[in-house]
Every structure is written in C-alpha cells, then in structure tokens.
Amino acid sequence: MAKRRANGEGNVRKRDDGRWEGRIVVGHRENGTPLFRYIHAKTQKELLDMLHRELELYRDVDLTEDSQMTLAAWLDRWLDEYMVNTVRPGTLAGYRMYANSYVKPLLGDKIVSQITAADVQKMYTKLKKEGRVHQTSEQGRALADATIRSIHTMFHHAMKAAEQERLTAKNPTEGAMIPKARHSPKRILTDGELDIFMLEKMSMAYNGVTLNKLIVQVRNMFSPGEDQDRFMAHVAMQGYEYHDAYDEYVYEISDFKRYKVSDGFPRLTVKDVNPAIRKASYEIALTELVPFEIS
C-alpha cells in the first residue's frame, strides 16, 4: 500500500534530516516561472501552521524577480533612481548616511522580500543600545531617540516603495515601536554673541584641519546626546557624509568675526512668525551686520 502523503501534496515534504519543508508560490520571473518561498519546521503540524500564515500574507501578492535582491542593493537603487530627483540634495545625503551607517550594517545582506517586522524591531533596539558611530564617555554607544526616528522615516519610505514595486508582500516597518518625540520648548536666538568663521580650503602642505576632523571638533562643542546627533543630522542634510577624500585637504580659518546679537539684529523670532509655520530657514547678508560687529 502506498504511503499517504501530507496535506498539500507537492508543497509539503519530509526531508532526509527529519525536518518538514513546505513551499508556496510568491511571485513570478519575467519568463513566467514561479518564485517559491521555502519554509522549514520540526513537525508537520508546525509547518502547516506556518504555511497557513504565509498563504494569508501572500494572498493576492505577485512578487517580481527583483524581490530576490538584497536590501543593500534595493536601498542603493531607491536612493539613486527614485529619490535623486524627488528630494533636495541635502535630504538625499541625509538618507544615504542613515542607510549606509545604520541600516546596511545590520540588515543589508538580507533578501529584501524576507525582511520581517521582527528584523526591523530588532535593528531599532540594537541601534538604541549601541548604534552610535562616534562613542562618547557620557552616552557610550547608545543612539539618540531623534536619530532613530530619522532612520525610521527614511527606512519606512524605502520599504513602502519596495512594496509598491512588488519586492515585498508588506512594508515591514509598519507598526514598528520607535521612541516617541519629546517636544521641548522652542529655542530662539537670544541676546548674546554670534561667532562666524570663514574657512579656506588648502592643500595638505599647510598646517590646518581636515573637514572630517573639523566636523568632529564642532560636534564636540555640543552637549552629548541628542544635541550632537541633531548637529550631525543637519550637517548631513547639507550634503556632508564622512569620506576618506575629505582628509586629502585641510582648511584654514581665513577670517573670524564676532557680532553682538541685540535689539535691531536681523533675525526672526516667535512673535514674527505665524504659528501655522512649523519650519523655516533664512540667510543673513553679512554686509548688513557691520553695525553689530564687535572689534
């Protein structure tokens, strides 16, 4: 008598090592051949339960062949092809920094279609505990909450695009637990002094400081934690990302001016801005600051 096969004939089998293996069709290649997702379990019952959950997840989903690329490859494509003409250069640089410095080292080698919500949550937890690139004596390697929220924003957009392009069945960042924003009172430019440094790019023959070192020096002028991370985020938004090429040149302070910030100093304050405006930036002509210059 022939041995009775398990439910789902052709999709479920017992391996030689004793484990159970199942497979489901999750998509198709360009030539029409199916793309399979393989699942393994110790028992047949466990496997069938897992298969049921996977079938629900992939219902009405037809992934493309590109769903087999790594997350690192997808992030590069998303940044270079989808975001390059969509966001400002500074924002793109910030996204690239978050992807290269935080996401790729932890999840970059995984197949994009196989990134799970658990993977995302585990990454955020690890970044919170030991994600800081530049360790400090006060914070150690713990990454600030504001930085994790920024990483999540970038990663959420990238995986949403992956879902729309049929590279994954569901955006795994949906529902992730991230640190809540702590809204502190707005800080405005108060009466005091404003220092402005003019830098000149020099060759290595001159005694100066490299851009990478200069960024670190300025960063260390801020309080450790979110203030330093906020400064690095703003620098990234302006297009800076650590690169060895920045150590091939040094900078020299070509000029320095100090101004008294007092009544009449050109600036925007809370009372000057409509409450509906949440974010704004402006530039000041240095030629108009002569009356406030401190000799």
**How is residue 104 annotated by DSSP?**
H
Query: Does the structure show a pLDDT above 90 at 144?
Result: no
Mean pLDDT over the full length of the chain: 80
pTM exceeds 0.85: no
pLDDT tens column, 183-223? 444 444 445 777 777 776 665 555 667 888 888 888 887 77
Q: Which residues, at least 6 apart from 213, have a Cβ–Cβ distance to it below 8 Å?
A: none
Q: Which two tokens mark 256?
A: 């320095």
Whole-number pLDDT of residue 188: 43
Which percentage of the chain shows pLDDT scores above 90? 22
3-class secondary structure, 143: coil
**How is residue 291 annotated by DSSP?**
G
Give ∠ CA 230-71-97 in degrees, rounded to 5: 20
Whole-number pLDDT of residue 5: 30
Query: Does the structure show a pLDDT above 70 at 255?
Result: no
8 A C-beta contact, residue 58 and residue 39: no
Q: Which two tokens mark 99?
A: 């992807």
Which percentage of the chain shows pLDDT scores above 70? 85
Q: Which residues of 7-23 are buried (b: 16+ CB within 10 A; e: fewer)?
A: eeeebbeeeeeeebebb
User: What CATH fold (topology level) applies to the domain 67-164?
Assistant: DNA polymerase; domain 1 (1.10.150)
Q: How far apart are CA 123 and CA 128, in angstroms?
A: 9
Confidence of residue 233 (pLDDT cuts 50, 70, 90): confident
pLDDT tens column, 67-84? 989 999 999 999 999 998
Long-range contacts of 8-13 (CB under 8 A, 24+ apart): 8/48, 8/51, 11/51, 12/44, 12/47, 12/48, 12/51
Q: Which residue has the tokens 């704004």?
A: 280
Q: Which residues, at least 6 apart from 249, have a Cβ–Cβ distance to it below 8 Å?
A: 201, 202, 203, 204, 210, 211
Domain edges within the chain: 12-62, 67-164, 192-294
Whole-number pLDDT of residue 26: 81
Supply the DSSP string of 258-287, one letter for each residue.
EEEE-TT-S---GGGS-TT---------GG
Whole-number pLDDT of residue 190: 47
Distance from the Cα of residue 151 to its chain's centroid = 3
Select the highest-mean-pLDDT range: 23-37, 112-126, 217-231: 112-126
